[in-house]
């Protein structure tokens, strides 16, 4: 996902190693003041350590200077948000906290592992960082007003590129464009009936008084929620499957839904709590699984298509009519979630895809290979290497979108720099003397 805000870096509990190891005690002090906001040495140290964790190789003192400037900008934005009476709702805060928690649970592998690492429950983590999230959302809103409408024209993109010294033009690594045809084996009616029967049995026992969370922990096939008794956390409309939302938002507290089907599989849902326009529910998910025979048939079907394409009896585009993937409407192109376009650097490709396409020539098609879709369902696909670039210096013909993004970021930074210069002249700012040697991009103390 492309970051929305490029100037501010907020360090949360999940990124602060010191929080995970309370025996490492740091004597704290205030190192800077912006308006009525303070920056603590411990927070500064934590952010510098995070830069190192992300691969920064600069001296620790330099990283702390960079971290300090990031945090000064953040505090200046928060100070302005208070002056402008920017308001964020509890629903916004709760939703953002839930999204962060879900992300970090996915990184740790389970809620239990997250809680064990930090020695705190998820509820304690959320409560501890509620004010941090509130400040971040307020700062984000102010920053949006400063740079949100910034745009660059084609002439500005060309001028930006032409002003890059030749020796400094970035080297673009090899990139791949890949197309796919997916075959998802149909699931037999016997499997579907068996799943519905299991869910009906669970539902009947829950309605009779047994705990929904117990059944979810034992039987749900959603790895992200089963360890939490099926609890999903708070969601707003538009964040879940439409079929799921249509049922979930109409449940009363404690009520258990009938069986419903979504792209992920078959569910039953129980309402935990409604808070404003958000809901927190539990669910049990069971995914239909094709039989080995159905999987083998899907493989043979795709291998036959690949043979016809190689023999030029049909084109890849004609073969796409047999594809079970929604992406076929875009020619079967894989889309890079990091950039939003169809080009991938090697490390951005799924390793299973890279292992196949790196052995192909451009326009060559693979045999059928197994994979799991985004919902974890077993399927097969054939892959076509549509294009492979050679490493080269960035140029406007091949890399216009990339250069455009660089030019936009540069223009946004200039807008932000002008805003910081204006506000620092009107805001009380103090930094302890030992950070005087820092070479900041902005002048902070006049």
SS3 173: coil
* Domains along the sequence of the chain with CATH: 13-153+403-435 (1.10.4030.10), 172-187+290-392 (3.10.50.40), 189-286 (3.10.50.40)
The pLDDT of residue 48: 87
pTM of the complete model: 0.66
CA 77 to chain centre: 24
The pLDDT of residue 7: 36
* Beta carbons of 80 and 90 less than 8 angstroms apart: no
Q: What b-and-e string marks burial along 266-279, b requiring 16 or more CB atoms within 10 Å of the CB?
A: bbbbbbbebeeebb
Which tens digits make up the pLDDT trace of 283-338?
A: 999 999 999 999 999 999 999 999 999 999 999 999 998 888 776 778 899 999 88
Alpha carbon distance 365, 322 (integer Å): 16
Token pair 């002090």 is found at: 29
The pLDDT of residue 54: 76
* Beta carbons of 340 and 349 less than 8 angstroms apart: no
Task: Tell me the β-bridge partners of 432.
Answer: none
**What is the chain's percent helix, strand, coil content, to nearest 5?**
50, 15, 35
The pLDDT of residue 328: 73
Which residues, at least 6 apart from 123, have a Cβ–Cβ distance to it below 8 Å? none
The sheet with strand 37-40 has its strands ordered as 37-40, 30-34, 429-431
Helix 41-53 with 60-83: angle, nearest 10 deg:
120
The pLDDT of residue 5: 41
* Beta carbons of 111 and 227 less than 8 angstroms apart: yes
Structure-token pair, residue 424 = 């620092």
Alpha carbon distance 104, 98 (integer Å): 10
Alpha carbon distance 257, 268 (integer Å): 6
Structure-token pair, residue 131 = 């004010």
Task: Tell me the β-bridge partners of 387.
Answer: 177
The pLDDT of residue 27: 62
Which residues, at least 6 apart from 165, have a Cβ–Cβ distance to it below 8 Å? none
SS3 119: coil
Helix 154-162 with 396-424: angle, nearest 10 deg:
90
Structure-token pair, residue 198 = 């299991």
Give the gyration radius of the chain's Cα atoms: 26
Alpha carbon distance 172, 177 (integer Å): 15
Positions of the chain with pLDDT under 50: 1-25
End-to-end CA distance of the chain: 38
Structure-token pair, residue 235 = 């969601």
Quick count: other Cβ atoms within 10 Å of Cβ 75? 23
Which residues, at least 6 apart from 90, have a Cβ–Cβ distance to it below 8 Å? 275, 276
Structure-token pair, residue 435 = 């950070």
Task: Tell me the β-bridge partners of 371.
Answer: 379
The pLDDT of residue 349: 92
* Beta carbons of 380 and 181 less than 8 angstroms apart: no
The pLDDT of residue 339: 81
* Beta carbons of 69 and 441 less than 8 angstroms apart: yes
Which residues, at least 6 apart from 49, have a Cβ–Cβ distance to it below 8 Å? 16, 17
Quick count: other Cβ atoms within 10 Å of Cβ 254? 10
Element (H, E) at 370: strand 369-372
Structure-token pair, residue 136 = 């971040």
Which tens digits make up the pLDDT trace of 49-96?
A: 888 877 788 888 899 999 999 999 999 999 999 999 999 988 888 888
CA 371 to chain centre: 21
For 6-60, what is the HEC assignment?
A: CCCCCCCHHHCHHHHCCCCCCCCCEEEEECCEEEEHHHHHHHHHHHHHCCCCCCH
Burial environment of residue 416 by CB neighbours within 10 A (0 to 12, 13 to 18, 19 or more) = buried
Task: Tell me the β-bridge partners of 180.
Answer: 383
């Amino acid at each position: 996902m492309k970051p929305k805000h490029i100037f501010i870096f907020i360090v949360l509990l999940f990124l602060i190693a010191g929080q995970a190891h309370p025996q490492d005690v740091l004597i704290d002090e205030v190192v800077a003041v912006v308006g009525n906001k303070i920056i603590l040495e411990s927070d500064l140290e934590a952010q510098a350590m995070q830069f190192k964790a992300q691969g920064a190789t600069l001296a620790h003192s330099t990283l702390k200077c960079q971290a300090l400037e990031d945090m000064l900008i953040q505090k200046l934005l928060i100070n302005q948000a208070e002056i402008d009476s920017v308001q964020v709702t509890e629903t916004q805060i709760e939703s953002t906290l839930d999204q962060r928690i879900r992300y970090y649970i996915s990184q740790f592998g389970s809620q239990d592992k997250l809680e064990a690492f930090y020695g705190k429950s998820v509820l304690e983590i959320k409560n501890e960082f509620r004010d941090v999230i509130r400040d971040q959302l307020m700062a984000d809103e102010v920053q949006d007003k400063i740079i949100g409408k910034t745009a660059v024209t084609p002439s500005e993109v060309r001028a930006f590129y032409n002003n890059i010294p030749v020796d400094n033009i970035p080297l673009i690594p090899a990139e791949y464009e890949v197309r796919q045809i997916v075959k998802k084996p149909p699931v037999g009616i016997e499997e579907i009936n068996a799943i519905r029967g299991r869910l009906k049995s669970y539902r009947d026992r829950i309605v009779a008084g047994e705990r929904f969370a117990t059944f979810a922990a034992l039987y749900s096939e959603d790895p992200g929620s089963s360890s939490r008794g099926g609890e999903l956390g708070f969601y707003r409309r538009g964040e879940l499957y439409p079929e799921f939302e249509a049922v979930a938002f109409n449940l009363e507290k404690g009520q258990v839904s009938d069986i419903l089907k979504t792209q992920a599989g078959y569910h039953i849902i129980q309402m935990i709590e409604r808070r404003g326009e958000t809901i927190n529910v539990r669910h049990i998910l069971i995914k239909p699984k094709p039989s080995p025979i159905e999987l083998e048939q899907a493989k043979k079907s795709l291998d036959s298509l690949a043979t016809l394409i190689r023999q030029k009896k049909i084109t890849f585009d004609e073969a796409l009519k047999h594809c079970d993937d929604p992406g076929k409407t875009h020619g079967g192109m894989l889309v890079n979630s990091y950039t939003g376009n169809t080009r991938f650097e090697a490390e951005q490709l799924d390793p299973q895809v890279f292992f196949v396409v790196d052995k192909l020539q451009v326009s060559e098609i693979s045999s059928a290979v197994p994979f799991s879709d985004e919902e974890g369902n077993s399927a097969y696909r054939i892959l076509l290497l549509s294009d492979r670039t050679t490493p080269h210096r960035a140029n406007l013909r091949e890399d216009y979108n990339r250069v455009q993004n660089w030019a936009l970021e540069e223009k946004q930074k200039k807008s932000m720099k002008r805003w910081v210069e204006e506000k620092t002249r009107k805001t009380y700012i103090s930094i302890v003397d030992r950070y005087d040697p820092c070479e900041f991009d902005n002048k902070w103390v006049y």
